[in-house]
Amino acid sequence: MITQTEQRSALVKPIKQIAILNNTTSKLDFKNLKYIQKSLGISSDNFSIFTIKQKNDNYNELRGIFATKDDISAFGKIKSPEIVAFLDKKYDLLIDLTQAESIIEKYFSLSIPADFRVGYDIDERIYDLMLGVEKGDIHTFADEMHKYFTILGLIR
């Protein structure tokens, strides 16, 4: 259980920079990305995509950073300078579409510096907002984010 002193502070400023953590099974494609951007009312220039894939996957639907388990050493050190640069940037929002099923997905979900984290209802220690929607239903996920962010005053 997380104690009061361990809890993260909630995002109280408008959302500008967004990181999306993705994997090859999350069904995030260009059309769904545009839907997320439209529902949040944020320009595509403010989105950064980070995709976790298997070494031999041909997934290249979206531009951005790609990572495999080979990009992390046995001691947890990241080998790729592109991934290090992505993780050095500060984001207002992390949208995790992976469901954090593997240790690699959890590692990157926790490594991306973000003021506010949204994901599926998997682990309350990872996310500030958990959405109980079916995996791959990007439209419902985006609609639910929009609804809660409007209530919180994070978007208009």
14-152 — its CATH code? 3.40.50
Distance CA 39, CA 116 (A): 17
pLDDT at 3: 42
Tens of pLDDT, residue by residue, the chain (156 residues): 344 444 445 555 778 899 999 988 888 888 999 999 999 998 888 999 999 987 776 665 677 888 988 898 888 899 999 999 999 999 999 999 998 778 888 889 999 999 999 998 777 788 889 999 988 899 999 999 999 988 888 776
* Long-range pairs, 7-13, Cβ under 8 A, ≥24: 8/128, 9/115, 10/116, 10/128, 11/92, 11/93, 11/115, 11/116, 11/128, 11/152, 11/154, 13/92, 13/115, 13/154
Question: What pLDDT was estimated at residue 58?
Answer: 67
Q: Where are the domains of the chain?
A: 14-152
